[in-house]
Amino acid sequence: SASSFVGCYSEPGELVLAGSYQFQSIGYCQQTCDKRNQTVYALHDGNKCYCGDALPSSESEVPAARCNTPCAGFPSDTCGGSDTWSVSSDSINVKRDDAGSVIVTAPDTPDSAANIQVNPTLVETGIALASSVVSDAGGS
C-alpha cells in the first residue's frame, strides 16, 4: 500500500513497540503494522518497529536529520535514532486536530493512483499509433 514519510519525532506518542528485528527495514515494519491493521508506523534505534493509528504530537517533531541511524536490514534506509522515531503512514489523509493529536482516515485514492500508473502506457501507445500513421502515409 502507498506510504509516505511523515517526519522525525522525539517520542513515539501512542505508537506501541511491535518488536525488534535484526534485519529491520522500513518495508518490513510497514508489513508488520499492516498485518495489525494499523496505518502509522515508526522505526527507532535502527532495529525497532512501532505501530499505531495516530501520529505523535506535532510538538515532538524534530529535524529529519536527527533520524539518521541506518536500518539494520537495509542500511540505505534510516530507522530513527537512539532518541528519535522515523514516522510514516499508509494513509494519504493524515489530519491533526487542534490539540495536536491526529485523526487518520483511510485513503480513497488507490484506484486513481492505479490509473495514473496506466497513463504513461496510454501515451506511449498514442505515440506509437501516430508514428505508424505517419510511416503509412510516407509509404503510399
The per-residue pLDDT for 3 is: 77
Q: pLDDT value at position 103?
A: 53
Q: Could you give the residue ranges of the DSSP H alpha helices within the chain?
A: 26-35, 110-139
Cα separation, 89 vs 104, whole angstroms? 9
DSSP 36: T
Nearest Cα residue to 32 out of 44, 18, 43: 18
CA distance 17 to 35: 14
> Whole-model pTM?
0.65
Residues of the chain with pLDDT under 50: 95-100, 109-138
Task: Write the DSSP symbol of residue 66.
Answer: G
Q: Can you give the pLDDT at residue 90? A: 86
Cβ–Cβ < 8 Å for 26, 70: no
pLDDT at site 78? 94
